[in-house]
Structure 1
Amino acid sequence: MTVRNRGALAAMAAGVAALTVAGVVACGSQPAENVGSDEAAALAGTTPSAAPTTTAAGGASVPVSAGTLPADGKTVPPVKLAIPPIGVVASVNPVGVNRRTGEFEVPPSVDQVGWYRYGPGLETTGGSVVIAGHVDSAEQGKGAFFRLRELDQGDTLTVTGADGRQRGYRVVAREEYTKTKIPLDRYFARDGEPRLTLITCGGPFDPKTRHYRDNIVVTAVPA
Structure 2
Amino acid sequence: MTVRDRGALAAMAAGAAALTVATLVACGSRPAEDVGADEAAALAGATPTRTASAAATGDSAGVPVNAGALPAGGATIPPVRLRIPAIGVTATVDPVGVNQRTDEFEVPPSVDRVGWYRYGPGLEADGGSVVIAGHVDAADQGEGAFFRLRELDRGDTVTATGDDGRERRWRVVAREEYAKTKIPLDRYFARDGSPRLTLITCGGPFDAKTRHYRDNIVVTAVPA
Q: Which moved more, 1:20-29 or 1:140-149?
A: 20-29
Amino acid of the structure 2 residue aligned with 1:31: P
Distance 1:199 1:61, change over 3 A: closer
Asked if 2 retains the 8 angstrom alpha-carbon contact of 1:81 and 1:90, the reply is yes
Amino acid of the structure 2 residue aligned with 1:45: G
C-alpha deviations, 1:5-41, integer Å up to 9, x for none? x845654432422123262325355233100000000
C-alpha deviations, 1:31-67, integer Å up to 9, x for none? 331000000000003558xx9x99x998977442x74
Partner of 1:70: 72
What percent of counterpart residues are identical? 72
Q: Which moved more, 1:140-149 or 1:18-27?
A: 18-27
Partner of 1:84: 85
Distance 1:58 1:221, change over 3 A: closer
Partner of 1:44: 44
The count of residues paired between Structure 1 and Structure 2 equals: 213
Partner of 2:223: 222
Give the SS at the match of 2:41.
Answer: helix
| Structure 2 CA distance for aligned equivalents of residues 33 and 58 of structure 1 | 25
Partner of 2:15: 18
Partner of 1:98: 99
C-alpha deviations, 1:66-93, integer Å up to 9, x for none? 7424354x10000000000000000000
| Structure 1 CA distance for aligned equivalents of residues 29 and 80 of structure 2 | 29
Unaligned runs of 5+ in 2: none
Asked if 2 retains the 8 angstrom alpha-carbon contact of 1:9 and 1:103, the reply is no
Distance 1:204 1:61, change over 3 A: closer
CA RMSD of aligned residues (A): 2.6
Asked if 1 retains the 8 angstrom alpha-carbon contact of 2:81 and 2:160, the reply is yes
Amino acid of the structure 2 residue aligned with 1:131: I
Unaligned runs of 5+ in 1: 1-5
Distance 1:190 1:47, change over 3 A: farther
Report deviation, 1:103: 1.6
Distance 1:136 1:112, change over 3 A: same
Asked if 1 retains the 8 angstrom alpha-carbon contact of 2:152 and 2:175, the reply is yes
Amino acid of the structure 2 residue aligned with 1:32: A
Asked if 1 retains the 8 angstrom alpha-carbon contact of 2:45 and 2:194, the reply is yes
C-alpha deviations, 1:108-153, integer Å up to 9, x for none? 0000000000000000000000000000000000000000000000
Asked if 2 retains the 8 angstrom alpha-carbon contact of 1:17 and 1:135, the reply is no
Distance 1:61 1:143, change over 3 A: closer
Q: Which moved more, 1:141-150 or 1:18-27?
A: 18-27
Amino acid of the structure 2 residue aligned with 1:75: T
Give the SS at the match of 1:186.
Answer: helix
Amino acid of the structure 2 residue aligned with 1:107: P
Give the SS at the match of 2:86.
Answer: helix
Asked if 2 retains the 8 angstrom alpha-carbon contact of 1:19 and 1:210, the reply is yes
What is the TM-score when the length of structure 2 is the normalising length? 0.86
